[in-house]
Structure formats: C-alpha cells, structure tokens
Amino acid sequence: MAEPWAPPRPPTPTRRAGRGRIVFWVLTGIAAACLVGSLAAVGVTTRVYTNAAESMENTLQVGDRLPVASDDGVRRGDIVVMQIPAHKTGAGELVVKRLIGLPGDHVACCTADGKVTVNGKPLDETYVYPGNEPSTIKFSVTLGHGMVWVMGDHRLVSLDSREWGPVPESDITGPVLTIMHGSSFRSVQTPRTFVADGLAPGGARTPVYTWLLMISGIAIVVLIVLLIIGVTRTIIRRRRGASPPPL
C-alpha cells in the first residue's frame, strides 16, 4: 500500500543561511573586483596635466588641471595635450593647443575678412583671445597622412603649426574633455563653428575616465550596503544565540 503523500519539507534555516552567505560573499567579491579594476584602469589610461603656458588663454588659465585619457579619440576643434615636435626647441615637452585640421584637410589663412579656413570653410573662431587676429602669418597647407594642424587660442603668444608646420597626430596624447579650475570643473564642447560647418559632430563627450569613476562609485555604494547587511545579520544572529531557551 502506497504511503500517503506529504508536502516537501521546507529548507532548514541552516541551508538558507548557508546560501545567503554564499550570495553575500559572491556579491562582495564582484563589487570589490569592479572597484579595484575601475580605479586601476583610471590610473593606467588617464593622466592629469597642468596648463603651464598662456597660449590657450582665455579658454584655459595657467594652473588649470586637465585630465586626459589616451583612449578618447580626437576631432577638429578639440583642445589637445601634445608633445612639441621632435625637430623643435623643447622637443618632447607637453603643450596644449587646439586641433584645427586632420589628415587630408586643407588649412589656410586668411580669407578677405581675415578668417582661417578648413577645406574652404571659414571658421568663426569666437574662442580666440580678445583683440587677436586669427593669424598674422599667412599659410596654405594640405595635411599629409598622419599629420595635423594645431594652433593656440592666444594667437599672438602661441608657438604652433604656423611655425612648426604640420605635426604628427601620434604626438597628441589625447583631447581635453574636462577643465578643472580650482575646486570647480566644466565639460568641454566642440566649438560651434566646427559643428555648423560640418567639420565635427556637436555636443559634449563623456570621457572614458568618467565611466570608470561611475563604476567605482557604484561599487562603493554596493559594498557599503553589503557591509550594513552583514553587520545587521551578525547582530541578529548573536542576539538569537544569546536568548534563553523557552520554558
């Protein structure tokens, strides 16, 4: 005769507690790995440079800090950190300039009203230092493979491609997408003239290091929550263990 059916027994508290501890430590391990990995990636891919010259005034001030990630691509109109070309005095030193032309572009100055052109399109360079002309030096250059054209915003004091000529794109460390001035910071957008002329896409970009820092911030929050849960569960277990047995 078959035995009467009985519902399965629920898992014992010990089994549930064991599974809970496994989930807890797995989540803790994942969060810790994300935190360490993202911070390590920021350290490897990102450097913070200090602007030491006046050649980018008034866009940049001397002493501004410029985080740069080498993984962020460049576009026309970008502010870039780069090395002084190898054949010039101070070769290898880092400077900050504005990227005007990319490989294959024709850059020239000046139009009848004194503007710099890229591929025949005149630039309305509102970022140029007040009172400066776009250039007092005439030029007309078609950029070869791997070569770019850079200029400082403070044109009267900037040493740039007008003296150096085209420079290797490989000399560029990366674009400046955030400017840190004292305790404040601001995002850098592509100048409107490059967007209006179809020379660059519009809008601000999110730097690689921002995503990495967001991941590390989320990981910290998760670790704090897990710590609170762990401490709370430990206190509850200890109180239960200290309770007198029922009469």
Q: What is the pLDDT of residues 48-60, one digit of tens each?
A: 899 999 999 999 9
Contact criterion met (CB below 8 Å) for 99 and 82: no
**Which residues, including other chains, have CB under 8 Å from residue 35's CB and lie 6 or more apart?**
216, 219, 220, 223
The band of 208, judged by pLDDT with boundaries at 50, 70 and 90, is: confident
Rounded percentage of the chain residues whose pLDDT exceeds 90: 49
The band of 167, judged by pLDDT with boundaries at 50, 70 and 90, is: very high
Class for the domain spanning 47-100+150-210: mainly beta
User: Which comes out higher in pLDDT, residue 236 or 124?
Assistant: 124
**Maximum mean pLDDT: which of 44-48, 108-112, 203-207:** 108-112
Question: Does pTM surpass 0.95?
Answer: no
Rounded Cα distance, 185 and 64, in Å: 9
Contact criterion met (CB below 8 Å) for 65 and 49: yes
**Which residues, including other chains, have CB under 8 Å from residue 98's CB and lie 6 or more apart?**
56, 59, 77, 78, 79, 80, 127, 150, 151, 152, 153
Rounded Cα distance, 236 and 247, in Å: 22
For the chain, give the number of residues: 247
Give mean pLDDT, residues 31-38.
85
Residues forming a β-bridge with 96 = 81
Give mean pLDDT, residues 191-196.
94
Rounded percentage of the chain residues whose pLDDT exceeds 70: 88
Look at residues 109, 106, 101 and name the one whose alpha carbon lies nearest to residue 76: 101
- pLDDT per residue as tens digits for the range 76-86: 999 999 998 87
Residue 25 has a pLDDT of 83
- Is the pLDDT at 124 greater than 80? The verdict is yes
Peptide bond into 110 cis (omega under 30): yes
- Is the pLDDT at 41 greater than 80? The verdict is no
Residues forming a β-bridge with 97 = 80
Residue 26 has a pLDDT of 84
Q: Sign of the CA dihedral 146, 169, 58, 52?
A: negative
Rounded Cα distance, 224 and 220, in Å: 6
Which range has the worst mean pLDDT, 11-15, 62-66, 86-90, 136-140?
Answer: 11-15
Residue 120 has a pLDDT of 95
